[in-house]
Chain A
Amino acid sequence: MSIIPNMPKPWRKETKPHKFCPGCGHGLVLKALGEAIDELNIQDKIVFGCDIGCSLLSWDFFNVDTVQTHHGRTTPVMTGVKRARPDRICIAYMGDGGGYAIGSQHLVNAATRNEKITVILANNCNYGMTGGQMAPTTLPGMKTETSPYGRDIEETGYPTQGPEMVAAITQERAYVARGTVANVRQLKNYIKRALQTQMDNSGFSFVEALSGCPTNWSTNAKDTWAFIEETMPQYFKVGELKTPVPKEGISK
Chain B
Amino acid sequence: MPTKIAYRMNKIDTKRALFTIFTGLCKGCGLCIQKCPANTLIWSDELGVYGTPAVQPKDAEGCTGCGMCSIVCPDCAITIERKKM
Residues of A near any B CB (own CB < 8 A): 3-8, 11, 13-14, 16-18, 20-28, 31, 184-185, 214, 220-222, 224-225
Contact code string B41-75 (vs A, CB < 8 Å = 1, else 0): 00000000110100000000000000000111011
Flag if B70 contacts A6 (CB, 8 Å): yes
B76 touching A22, Cβ below 8 Å: no
A3 to B78, CA, bound (A): 10
- B74 contact from A3, A13, A24, Cβ within 8 A: A24
Residues from chain B with a CB closer than 8 A to the CB of A214 are 29
Let me know if A23 and B79 touch, CB within 8 A: no
Distance of A27 Cα from B31 Cα, bound (Å): 12
A27 / chain B contacts, CB cutoff of 8 Å: 74-75
Whole-angstrom distance between the alpha carbons of A26 and B9 in the complex? 24
B17 interface contact, C-beta 8 A = no
What residues on A are CB-neighbors of B78 within 8 Å?
Answer: 6
- A–B Cβ pairs within 8 angstroms, 16 of them: A3-B9, A5-B22, A6-B70, A6-B79, A11-B76, A13-B3, A16-B76, A17-B49, A22-B29, A23-B29, A27-B74, A27-B75, A185-B71, A220-B30, A222-B34, A225-B31
Contact B25 A16, beta carbon cutoff 8 Å: yes
Give the total of B residues in contact with A, Cβ under 8 Å. Answer: 32
Q: Which B residues touch A5, using CB under 8 A? A: 7, 22, 25, 76-77, 79
Min C-beta distance of A227 to chain B, whole Å:
12
Residue of A nearest to B9 (CB): A3
Docked CA distance A221–B33 (Å)? 8
Residues of B within 8 A of A31 (CB): 74, 76
**Are A22 and B27 CB-contacts (below 8 A) given A13-B2, A14-B3, A28-B74?**
yes
Bound Cα distance from A21 to B27, whole angstroms: 8
